[in-house]
């Protein structure tokens, strides 16, 4: 008896201690602080549902514990039947009607929030940006045809309309603070939107298992002033595209110094500094003796590839010793 009681007390204390931690930080259990209207509406729906279900949870579990206590055997023999209870129509009607009302209330809230999650404010003049998912990076095309890789720059407070596509396998675009997930599917165009309400950097992650480096397929949205955004898409993006390609695409498999990793060592491979040879590999992929390289650059233009070659020449490539006279 005493042991049962102490087990019960310990269970309650553990529950209370965990609840405190979960409430103090979000503990990874609740949505992150929303920073875009669509994310806010999602979180509103989330808390309404959590409110109803939490009340139901404590009601049901409380009654369960109370009944276990109230109708315990009290030393009655195992083969003796306890008091018998028969139907109770009013009770059954009540516990059917109440869930119907609760589900209706949740449905009303959710269907009221959905259009505001789905569509940007009608009055907005959105910035149209194409998000292309690749094994294993994100590529962004801005309205002036500039590109960036893995980091998307936007003006704070602007409505951004995203056209989400893929060329190889299915990926999923997800920046939790800026709205829900949307899949990037080859042969299909999906749309989503956000409006970063505060300046800052918002982290995200590809949310669809897409291959060996799925976990490295992170994304970041940087919301900054209109002037900083204009400067970025005006010149900075193009000036750094070679470096972005190296660190966001090549280095994932070949290592930061090209020393090799999942992919082979390429730091001393002369092909990486030859535009023609490299273009063929980037656009078509490559079936090597130790594994296949995906066509990571199948949508890259020649300016981009030249920028990559220039960056690699300067920062990565170490000419192999010639003539076989290595000391
Ligand atoms: Cu792309 Cu996971």
pLDDT in tens, 249-283: 988 888 888 888 888 888 888 878 888 888 988 98
Q: How far apart are alpha carbons 37 and 59 in whole angstroms?
A: 33
Q: Decide: 37 and 121 in contact? Cβ < 8 Å.
A: yes
Task: Please give the pLDDT value at position 58.
Answer: 97
pLDDT tens digits, 297-307? 889 998 998 98
Check pLDDT > 90 for residue 98.
yes
Q: How far apart are alpha carbons 146 and 46 in whole angstroms?
A: 37
Which atom of ligand 1 is least distant from the CA of 169? 1
Task: Please give the pLDDT value at position 4.
Answer: 74
Task: Please give the pLDDT value at position 78.
Answer: 81
Residue 229's SS3 state is helix
Residue 98's SS3 state is helix
Check pLDDT > 60 for residue 327.
no
pLDDT tens digits, 158-180? 999 999 999 999 999 999 999 98
Ligand 1 is surrounded, with C-beta below 6 A, by: 133, 171, 206, 208-210, 214, 217
Which atom of ligand 1 is least distant from the CA of 184? 1
Residue 219: name the closest of 254, 184, 188 by CA. 184
- Ligand 1 centre distance from Cα of residue 204 (Å): 11
Q: Decide: 106 and 52 in contact? Cβ < 8 Å.
A: yes
Q: Give CATH for domain 21-72+88-118.
A: 1.10.287
Q: How far apart are alpha carbons 2 and 323 in whole angstroms?
A: 85
Residue 138: name the closest of 25, 217, 71 by CA. 217
Residue 216's SS3 state is helix
Which atom of ligand 1 is least distant from the CA of 211? 2
Give the percent of the chain with pLDDT over 90.
53
- Ligand 1 centre distance from Cα of residue 210 (Å): 4
CATH fold match for the domains 21-72+88-118 and 127-239: no
Residues whose CB falls within 8 Å of the CB of residue 323, separated by 6 or more in sequence, listed in order: none
Residue 299: name the closest of 139, 155, 70 by CA. 139
Q: Decide: 129 and 152 in contact? Cβ < 8 Å.
A: yes
The backbone torsions φ and ψ at residue 299, rounded to the nearest 5 degrees and listed phi first, read -115, 15
Check pLDDT > 70 for residue 323.
no
**Residue whose CA is closest, atom 1 of ligand 1?**
171
- Domain boundaries defined on the chain: 21-72+88-118, 127-239, 251-315
H or E segment at 64?
Answer: helix 37-70
Fold (topology level) of 127-239: Immunoglobulin-like (2.60.40)
- Ligand 1 centre distance from Cα of residue 51 (Å): 33
pLDDT tens digits, 173-200? 999 999 989 999 999 999 999 999 999 9
Q: What is the pTM of this model?
A: 0.80
The region of weakest confidence among 55-69, 111-125, 293-307 is: 111-125
């Amino acid at each position: 008896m005493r042991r049962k009681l102490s087990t019960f007390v310990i269970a309650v204390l553990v529950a209370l201690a965990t609840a405190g931690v979960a409430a103090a930080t979000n503990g990874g259990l609740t949505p992150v602080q929303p920073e875009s209207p669509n994310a806010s509406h999602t979180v509103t729906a989330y808390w309404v549902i959590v409110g109803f279900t939490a009340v139901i949870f404590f009601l049901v579990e409380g009654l369960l514990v109370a009944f276990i206590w109230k109708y315990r055997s009290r030393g009655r023999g195992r083969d003796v039947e306890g008091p018998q209870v028969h139907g109770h129509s009013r009770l059954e009607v009540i516990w059917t009607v109440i869930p119907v009302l609760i589900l209706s209330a949740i449905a009303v809230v959710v269907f009221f929030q959905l259009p505001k999650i789905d569509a940007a404010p009608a009055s907005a003049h959105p910035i149209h940006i194409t998000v292309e998912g690749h094994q294993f990076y994100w590529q962004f095309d801005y309205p002036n045809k500039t590109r960036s890789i893995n980091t998307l720059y936007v003006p704070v407070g602007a409505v951004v309309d995203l056209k989400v596509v893929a060329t190889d396998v299915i990926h999923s675009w997800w920046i939790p603070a800026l709205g829900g997930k949307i899949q990037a599917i080859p042969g299909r165009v999906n749309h989503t939107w956000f409006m970063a309400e505060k300046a800052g950097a918002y982290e995200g992650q590809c949310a669809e298992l897409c291959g060996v480096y799925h976990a490295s397929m992170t994304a970041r949205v940087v919301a900054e002033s209109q002037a900083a955004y204009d400067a970025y898409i005006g010149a900075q993006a193009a000036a750094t595209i070679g470096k972005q390609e190296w660190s966001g695409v090549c280095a994932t498999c070949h290592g930061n110094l090209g020393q090799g990793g999942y992919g082979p060592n390429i730091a001393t491979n002369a092909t990486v500094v030859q535009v023609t040879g490299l273009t063929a590999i980037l656009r078509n992929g490559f079936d090597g003796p130790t594994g296949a390289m995906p066509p990571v650059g199948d949508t890259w233009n020649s300016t981009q590839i030249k920028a990559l070659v220039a960056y690699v020449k300067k920062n990565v490539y170490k000419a192999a010793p010639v003539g076989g006279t290595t000391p």
